[in-house]
Amino acid sequence: MTTFRTYLRIFLSHRVYIAIYLVMLSLVGVFIGLSASPAATGEYQETSANVAVIDRDGSELSSALARRVLAGNNQVDVADERRAIQDSVARDRVSYLLVIPRGWGEGLMDAARQGGKAPELETYVSYYSGMGRLLDIEVTGYADGLYGMAATLGGGAAEVVSATDDAWEGSTQVSMVEQVASPLPASLVTAAEFASYPIFSSAMVCIAVLMSSVERRPVRDRRLASPESARTRNLALLGACATIGLVTWAWTFGLEVLVLGRSSLADSPVQLALVGAALLAYALVAASVGFLAGQLGVSESAANALANILGMVMSFLGGAWTGLSLLPDQLVAVAHFTPAYWVTRVVEGAAGMGRVTAKNVMPLVGDIGICALFGIAILLVGLVLGRSRGRSELA
């Protein structure tokens, strides 16, 4: 027990690592969650694109078109300058930028009278080209309406606009297919997916730092010379590692639930428990990787590098940052070999669970088990390596 307490004191004395990795990175996760859409996944929300309109025409028709496009979307103001247009499109600040050329309204009225084609509208789309498709349907639909009204009923621009606007009332009703269970808020899901990185890197760094200070030659000699049995000595070290893993998990997950998921505690406790259990399993995996690194005698700076690189690689491969649906199939095949993948599967599965039944929950519990098995396997490797290293050094 004394050694265990000493280990924890060593862990606590590395305040900088705790502050940077544990506190700061988990706060980052919460911020990312807060910036994700706050709505629960249960309500249907129409996609609203970031749209900008540059109206060079300024006619009644063009301003009616601009009004129509901006309604229901996020309006972004973009100056009619090349640099501003470049910036907004390249960064996807604007997914769809519509330029109504000079004389478009006149041209459309003339074309409608003579039955020809109306002048083209100019658009810039960012790489989010799906959004461009959506807005194109909206823009050409309304513009065709203007054209049709001008071609059939005729009259001045104002009449054409008001007739079209009258017809453009009402919209398709979209509803979610009902599901019994209330889903987790999207912000919590995003934060929980991101959490794999802070949990992994902080647990691993803290443990590796602890191990490297414990394994320093004089300390190590003193430890080995003590009358304590090897069993209790190693158990104390393992206990300290597991405690650090638990602390990282409790802090990260607790913070997320407190800030983002208080409502889910009552509404969807099972899903929340699944997410928590998955992250806990992952924290234990991180702890065993840290233990392994310590057993291998990895130096402090190398442990740092390993924690960051491994943590990022696993989070990316596991789809924690982009969602599993974005990953190509070959990569998903590879991702099966990382524990983070199973965690993300549990988080995504729990988030969209339609009904809390044993049939839905059990596969996710299985996934958590697989993640835990990774941890146990790595832990065993660490134990065996430590044993053989200890022997070879004694010999």
111 exposure class (CB count in 10 Å sphere: 0-12, 13-18, 19+): middle
**CB < 8 Å & 24+ apart, contacts of 260-263:** 260/30, 260/33, 260/34, 260/185, 260/187, 260/188, 260/191, 261/184, 261/185, 261/188, 263/185
Q: Which lies closer to another protein via its Cβ, residue 270 or residue 373?
A: 270
**CB 254, min distance to another protein, A:** 21
Q: Which lies closer to another protein via its Cβ, residue 169 or residue 393?
A: 169
**CB 295, min distance to another protein, A:** 20
- Cα–Cα separations (whole angstroms), residue 210 to 108, 310, 344: 74, 19, 29
Q: Which lies closer to another protein via its Cβ, residue 30 or residue 379?
A: 30
Distance CA 106, CA 73 (A): 27
**CB < 8 Å & 24+ apart, contacts of 100-105:** 100/53, 100/54, 100/55, 100/56, 100/57, 100/62, 100/65, 100/66, 101/56, 101/57, 102/56, 102/57, 103/57, 104/57, 104/59, 104/61, 104/62, 105/57, 105/59, 105/60, 105/61, 105/62, 105/157
Q: Which lies closer to another protein via its Cβ, residue 287 or residue 372?
A: 287
82 exposure class (CB count in 10 Å sphere: 0-12, 13-18, 19+): exposed
**CB 291, min distance to another protein, A:** 18
Q: Which lies closer to another protein via its Cβ, residue 25 or residue 283?
A: 25
**CB 229, min distance to another protein, A:** 33
**CB 316, min distance to another protein, A:** 5
Coil, strand, or helix at residue 313? helix
**CB 393, min distance to another protein, A:** 24
Coil, strand, or helix at residue 322? coil
**CB 102, min distance to another protein, A:** 15
DSSP at 325: G
**CB 391, min distance to another protein, A:** 28
**CB 3, min distance to another protein, A:** 24
Q: Which lies closer to another protein via its Cβ, residue 101 or residue 239?
A: 101
Coil, strand, or helix at residue 40? strand
Q: Which lies closer to another protein via its Cβ, residue 290 or residue 386?
A: 290
Using the CB atoms, write b or e for 59-81: b if 16+ within 10 Å: bbbbbbbbebbeeebeebebeee
Q: Which lies closer to another protein via its Cβ, residue 303 or residue 372?
A: 303
Q: Which lies closer to another protein via its Cβ, residue 25 or residue 199?
A: 25
The answer to whether 290 touches 217, Cβ cutoff 8 Å, is no
Q: Which lies closer to another protein via its Cβ, residue 138 or residue 215?
A: 138
**Residue 194 identity:** F
**CB 285, min distance to another protein, A:** 19
Distance CA 230, CA 364 (A): 38
